Structure formats: structure tokens, C-alpha cells
Amino acid sequence: MELSPTAYVVLGMLNLGARTGYDIKGIVDHSTRFFWAASYGQIYPELNRLEKAGLVTGKHAPTGGRKRKEYDLTAAGRKALIEWAAAPPQMPELRDSNLLKLFFADVLPLEQALHQLLMRRLGHEQFLALLRELEARPGDDPPFVDLVLQYGIEYAEFNIEWCKRWEQRLSKKEAA
């Protein structure tokens, strides 16, 4: 069975201790969503596929009037996660609609194009503030979870400085 990227998100979250689809979504929303999002509409079907494939086991654990199913990683699921994590990395695919707008911004008057650049900077400033909040929360993250958080912080800082630099350069062109 070929696994989707969302399947690996699910396996990884179960390995970190998540138990239900709801738990997985909650952890994704505060961690991987900054570079790999997963919706309930992806998580629950993936849990079903992984259970049928024997990579996770689920047991009903209702609370109150809620139907609830808790999942655990099986040995085969952990093996699949380890094999995937150990595989050579692939060429990254960056999907950034703001960069796409900047790529085609020459069709706009320079003032409007500069506004797109400003909006990119402001978005990265908000992103950085959110990552700094995550960084300041109590608790110890596993080392590589923290590594990825630090990557996000440095990525946001780079983008802010890059935008500032190009805002200044292109503003000089506008003034000329």
C-alpha cells in the first residue's frame, strides 16, 4: 500500500502520543500546519485506511454522548513511519500564492506591486509572532520538533528582511 503524505502525518502524530482524529487535528493545527496542513476530511479517512492496512489499531472509547475512537500505532505502522523518515529527501515543492503574485506583479502599476510586497512582509511578521508564541510556551519539545520550529522562525525572519530590502530598492525606482 502506497501511503499519502497525510498518512505519514497521522502515523507521526500517533507516534508523538495523539490518540483520536480530533487529537491529531489539534496537534497539526499547532505544529505542522505551518508547512503541511491536514483537515478532518483528510485525517479521518486516512485513519480508516491505515487501520484496514494494519498500520494502526482503533478502539471505541466514547466519552459522554460522543462517539470516539482512539488509535495506536502498530509495529507495522511504526516501521512504515521509520522507513519513510529515513528515506532520502525529495526536491522540495514550494507552493506560495503570494510569491506567484509577485512573479506576475509586473502587470500592475509599481505602487500596487509594492503593496503586494508589503502584504507579504506583514504576513511574515504575523507568522513570526505566532511562532514566537509557540516557542515561548512551557514544555519541552522533542529536539527535531524544536529544530523545525527554529527553521520556521528563521524562515519568517529571512522573508521579513528580504521584503524590507526589496521594498526599499523598488521604492527608489518608483521615486526615480
Q: Enumerate the domain spans of the chain.
A: 5-86, 97-175
pLDDT for res 84: 96
- Indicate the burial class of 127 (C-beta count within 10 angstroms; 0-12, 13-18, 19 or more): middle
pTM of the predicted structure, to 2 decimals: 0.81
C-alpha cell read off for 85:
523518515
pLDDT for res 176: 64
- Indicate the burial class of 18 (C-beta count within 10 angstroms; 0-12, 13-18, 19 or more): buried
- Looking at residue 45, its amino acid is P
pLDDT for res 65: 77
CB atoms within 10 A of CB 156: 21
pLDDT for res 160: 98
Residue ranges in the chain whose pLDDT is less than 50:
none
Q: For the chain, give percent helix, strand, coil, nearest 5.
A: 65, 5, 25
Residue that has been written with the C-alpha cell 507568522 in this structure: 127
- Could you tell me which CATH number the domain at 5-86 has? 1.10.10.10
Give the tens place of pLDDT for each residue, 98-133: 999 999 999 999 999 999 999 999 999 999 999 999
Give the tens place of pLDDT for each residue, 89-99: 988 888 888 99
pLDDT for res 163: 97
